[in-house]
Amino acid sequence: MAGDTSTRGMPTDDGMLWALLAHASPILTSFVGPLCIWLVKRRSDEFAAYHAAQAFWYAWITLLVISLSCGMGGLLLPFFWLYGLYVGLRAREGEWSGYPFISGFGFNGKLV
């Protein structure tokens, strides 16, 4: 995982719930749900904002892969969602980890 999380504070229960919702929302809203959560939480809850940014990029990349694959990516969509829910459940437990290759985007003040 990129970035140093040792200086991060402990997430609140509310922040962990918003983080889970950010990872679960692409099932119904694609990248719009995580983007809305990031816009609302970016100043008030660093943990929720970090995970919303992660979920946004993951949903955006998922959408891009599916649209470029001429429909075959649609068969993989449930696996993308399941992995997103897995990361969301880890966030609900208070983990700062994110998606491979995306996790560095939210650290060091780049997005959060």
pLDDT digits (tens, 9 = 90+) for 44-95: 999 999 999 999 999 998 888 777 776 676 788 888 899 999 999 999 999 9
Residue whose C-alpha is closest to residue 21's, from 60, 54, 61, 63: 54
Phi, psi of 4 (to 5 degrees): -110, 115
Query: What's the pTM value of the predicted model, to 2 decimals?
Result: 0.84
Q: Note the pLDDT tens digit of each residue in 14-42.
A: 999 999 999 999 999 999 999 999 999 99
Task: Domain ranges for the chain, please list them.
Answer: 13-95
Q: Which residues contact 34 (CB under 8 A, 6 or more apart)?
A: 22, 23, 25, 26, 52, 53, 54, 55, 56, 59
Say what the pLDDT of residue 24 is.
97
Say what the pLDDT of residue 20 is.
97
Contact 34, 56 (CB under 8 A): yes
Phi, psi of 93 (to 5 degrees): -85, 0
Q: What is the distance between the alpha carbons of residues 9 and 22, in angstroms, rounded to a whole number? A: 19
Say what the pLDDT of residue 106 is.
54
